[in-house]
């Protein structure tokens, strides 16, 4: 298959985090600055869109909401802020990334123990690879089969529960998350939450758009691939799947190839099987091809031109999410990659003819094509190189436009789909806060009025707000969300009183 003409964004180290205000260099100072940030009145330079309906269609903010009281200290220094903003607007929208889930036992991507940091050869599967190439899907689902038990057993951590409490207290308008682990809706089902890059808890058929629970799919994978199921049980017992460090995995019996794949000599990816969409399978007109056990197989060359279906019935619904300032595409969801993939292998169960056909052809659609075969299930996530739907894009923009400030938690903003939302907030005059242990892509853009080139408070008269900023005008701190957010909850309780 031709090498994809795109790169994974920002896999190397980002610059060290800026610290704004300077007092935020300690945990106590960071929590104090965050409290000032989310309790301050709205900036006078910001004006919201008029409210004509619910702020979030799936979970509207009640019109009867009364905002929490503002601390006298914050109000005293609020010459640049407007206390007369509609109270439904004077809230913070959160934008979260993989860093918030690290304490739940999941790896992030660019942190000290992140996937890109520990495994330099790792890359996620590309969207076009998945939809057009049978062999690529086998590899994806095999890796996914191994990762699913760890994800499905993980639970929200203290940071997620702190977000719930802040929402219950009335400080938050909603959450936009890049994560696909479902921890946010699990922790706070009543707080409006937009899963920007989808979720791994379901699959979607590329033909009929029917959704299927991921756990049911996992059970089918185990049935179709008993050799992989046995291997998975061994790896779970050894603890090898609880670390992203290749050396630690090898010590516990899990070997990896140089490209990061699992090395299973007795159960190669080429023998892996995965089920077809049951809805399409029940419809003879879809002409889905399966083996005797119900595993999807590519059609023969004789019928290849009669059973392909358009990738999307409405191609114009999907729009590009590529950074216009970059010549290469950037992923909308690194979290949807192979670390959460799964599959199983039964070397003797796949018909030899089908295996030979797949090997010879390189899988259906291995060359350029605008169609895919019927009955293929895909994780309900936005894969690397895939575009976010217009509906999701517009919902995210609405959540930005109807809040008075944005707080980024646990994200380096490496994907353009997330970075552009913070840039949108900046362009609208909204204060920006960032709570992330590592560097953040282009963060100097968000704090230009509060810092100088050497990361000291800007003393230019044009930026007088920077001289007195204690967090209300913007905050940037490099602490763990799992440490800082629970402490923030306690401080916000004091402010409410």
- Partners of residue 195 on adjacent β-strands: 177
pTM of the complete model = 0.73
| Strand, helix or coil for residue 174 | strand
Q: Does pLDDT of 324 surpass 90?
A: no
Query: Which tops the pLDDT comparison, 322 or 137?
Result: 137
Q: What is the mean pLDDT of residues 5-31?
A: 76
pLDDT at residue 234 in the model: 86
List the Cα angle 359/361/367 in 5-degree steps.
130
Q: What is the pLDDT of residue 45?
A: 58
How much is the pLDDT for 300? Answer: 67
The pLDDT value given to residue 106: 74
Place of tokens 């998945």: 130
280 is in an annotated binding site: yes
Task: Indicate the pLDDT class of residue 360, thresholds 50, 70 and 90.
Answer: very low
Reported confidence tier of residue 449, pLDDT bands at 50, 70, 90 = confident
Residue 450 pLDDT: 77
Instruction: State percent of the chain over pLDDT 90.
Output: 42
Specify the pLDDT at position 10: 52
User: Distance between CA atoms of 447 and 318, rounded to whole angstroms?
Assistant: 32
Task: Report yes or no: 447 and 18 within 8 Å, Cβ to Cβ.
Answer: yes
277 is in an annotated binding site: yes
Whether the pLDDT of residue 44 is over 80: the answer is no
pLDDT at residue 468, rounded to an integer:
74
pLDDT of residue 247: 65
Ordered DSSP codes for 352-416: HHHHHHHHHHTSTT-SS-SEEETT-EEEEE--BTPPPPHHHHHHHHHHHHTSSEEEEES----SH
Q: How far apart are the first and last CA of the chain?
A: 63
289 annotated active-site:
no
**3-class secondary structure, 233:** helix
Mean pLDDT across the chain: 73
| pLDDT at residue 316 tops 80 | no
Choice between 111 and 407, residue whose per-residue pLDDT is larger: 407
- Please list the residues that pair with 176 across neighbouring strands: 95, 194
DSSP 138: H
Res 347: pLDDT: 33
Give the CA distances from residue 105 to residues 114, 155, 232, 243, 378, in Å, rounded to whole numbers and listed in that order: 12, 9, 18, 9, 25
CB atoms within 10 A of CB 323: 17
d(CA 127, CA 145): 18
Kindly state the DSSP code that residue 10 receives in the 8-state scheme: T
Spell out the SS3 assignment of 431-488. CEEEECCCCCCCHHHCCCCCCCCCCCCCCCHHHHHHHHCCCCCCEEECCCHHHHHHHH
Whether residue 489 has pLDDT greater than 80: yes
Whether residue 412 contacts residue 10, with contact meaning beta carbons closer than 8 Å, is answered with yes
DSSP codes, 264-314: -TTS-GGGEE-BPPHHHHT-GGG---B-TTSBB-PPPTTTTTTSEEES-S-
Taking only the tens place, the pLDDT of each residue in 263-312 is 454 557 889 999 999 999 999 999 999 999 999 999 863 344 333 333 33
Give the model's pLDDT for residue 452.
56
**Rounded mean pLDDT, 89-98:** 88
Q: Which of the four pLDDT bands, split at 50, 70 and 90, describes residue 114?
A: low
Residues with Cβ within 8 Å of 383's Cβ and at least 6 positions away in sequence, in order, are 124, 125, 126, 127, 130, 331, 332, 333, 336, 337
Among 251-255, 275-279, 345-349, 396-400, the least confident range:
345-349
Separation between Cα atoms, residue 474 and residue 38, nearest integer Å:
10
Q: In angstroms, rounded to a whole number, what is the distance separating the alpha carbons of residues 54 and 478?
A: 34
Residues 145-157, mean pLDDT to the nearest whole number: 88
Q: How far apart are CA 469 and CA 475, in angstroms?
A: 9
The DSSP result for 109-122, as a single string, is: SSSTT-HHHH-TT-
21 preceded by cis ω (within 30°)?
A: yes
pLDDT attached to residue 123: 64
Q: Check if the beta carbon of residue 43 is closer than 8 Å to that of residue 431.
A: yes
Catalytic residue among 89, 188, 197, 342: 197
Q: Where is pLDDT greater, at 402 or 50? A: 402
Give whole-number Cα distances, 19 to 382, 453, 477, in Å.
Answer: 32, 12, 5
Q: What tokens were used for 170?
A: 């009335």
pLDDT of residue 55: 41
Q: Extract the runs of DSSP E, i.e. beta strands, from 110-217.
A: 172-177, 193-195, 198-205, 211-213
Q: Is the pLDDT of residue 388 over 80?
A: yes
Cα gap 342→275, rounded to integer Å: 12
Whether 314 has a pLDDT exceeding 50, the answer reads no
Residue 464 above 90 pLDDT?
Answer: no
* CB-side neighbour CA atoms (13 Å) of 383: 21
Give 495's pLDDT tier (boundaries 50, 70, 90). Answer: confident
**What is the predicted pLDDT for the residue at 39?**
92
Q: How far apart are CA 299 and CA 210, in angstroms?
A: 21
Average of pLDDT values for 200-217? Answer: 96
pLDDT value for 4: 44
The Cα 255–Cα 272 span in angstroms is 18
With cut-offs at 50, 70 and 90, classify the pLDDT of residue 496.
Answer: low
Strands (E), 189-251: 193-195, 198-205, 211-213
Query: Could you give all domains of the chain from N- to C-terminal order, each with its CATH number?
Result: 1-50+85-106+156-197+388-458+465-496 (3.40.50.1220), 121-153+200-307+370-381 (no CATH)
Band of residue 472 on the pLDDT scale cut at 50, 70, 90: confident
């Amino acid at each position: 298959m031709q090498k994809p003409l795109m790169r994974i964004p920002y896999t190397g180290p980002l610059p060290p985090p800026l610290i704004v205000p300077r007092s935020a260099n300690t945990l106590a100072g960071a929590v104090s600055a965050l409290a000032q940030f989310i309790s301050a009145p709205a900036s006078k330079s910001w004006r919201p869109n008029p409210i004509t309906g619910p702020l979030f269609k799936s979970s509207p903010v009640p019109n009867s909401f009364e905002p929490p009281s503002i601390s006298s200290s914050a109000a005293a220094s609020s010459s640049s802020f407007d206390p007369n903003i509609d109270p439904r607007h004077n809230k913070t929208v959160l934008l979260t990334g993989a860093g918030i889930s690290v304490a739940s036992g999941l790896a992030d991507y660019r942190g000290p123990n992140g996937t890109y940091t520990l495994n330099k050869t790792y890359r996620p599967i590309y969207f076009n690879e998945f939809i057009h190439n049978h062999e690529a899907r086998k590899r994806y689902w095999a890796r996914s089969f191994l990762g699913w038990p760890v994800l499905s057993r993980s639970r929200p951590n203290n940071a997620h529960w702190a977000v719930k409490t802040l929402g219950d207290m009335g400080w938050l308008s909603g959450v936009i998350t890049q994560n696909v682990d479902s921890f946010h809706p699990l922790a706070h089902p009543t707080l409006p939450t937009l899963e920007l890059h989808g979720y791994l808890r379901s699959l979607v058929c590329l033909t009929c758009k029917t959704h299927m629970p991921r756990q049911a799919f996992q059970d089918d994978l185990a049935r179709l691939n008993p050799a992989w199921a046995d291997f998975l049980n061994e790896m779970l017992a050894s603890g090898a799947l609880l670390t992203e460090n290749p050396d630690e995995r090898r010590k516990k019996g899990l070997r990896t190839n140089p490209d990061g794949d699992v090395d299973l000599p007795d159960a190669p990816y080429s023998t892996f099987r995965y089920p077809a969409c049951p809805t399409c399978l029940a419809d003879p007109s879809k002409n889905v091809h399966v083996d005797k056990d119900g595993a999807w197989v590519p059609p023969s060359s004789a019928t290849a031109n009669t059973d392909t279906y358009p990738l999307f019935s409405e191609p114009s619904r999907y729009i590009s999410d590529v950074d216009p300032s970059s010549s290469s595409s950037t992923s909308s969801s690194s979290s949807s990659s192979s670390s959460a993939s799964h599959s199983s292998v039964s070397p003797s169960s796949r018909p030899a003819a089908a295996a030979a056909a797949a090997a010879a052809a390189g899988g259906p659609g291995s060359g350029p094509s605008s169609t895919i075969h019927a009955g293929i299930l895909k994780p309900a996530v936005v894969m690397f190189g895939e575009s976010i739907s217009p509906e999701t894009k517009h919902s995210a923009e609405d959540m930005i436009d109807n809040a008075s400030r944005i707080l980024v938690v646990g994200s380096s903003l490496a994907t353009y789909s997330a970075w552009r939302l913070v840039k949108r907030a900046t362009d609208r005059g909204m204060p920006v806060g960032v709570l992330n242990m590592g560097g953040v892509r282009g963060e100097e853009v968000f704090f230009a009025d509060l810092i100088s080139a050497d990361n000291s408070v800007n003393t230019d008269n044009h930026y007088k707000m920077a001289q007195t900023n204690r967090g209300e005008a913007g905050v940037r701190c490099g602490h763990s969300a799992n440490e800082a957010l629970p402490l923030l909850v306690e401080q916000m309780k004091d402010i409410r009183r």
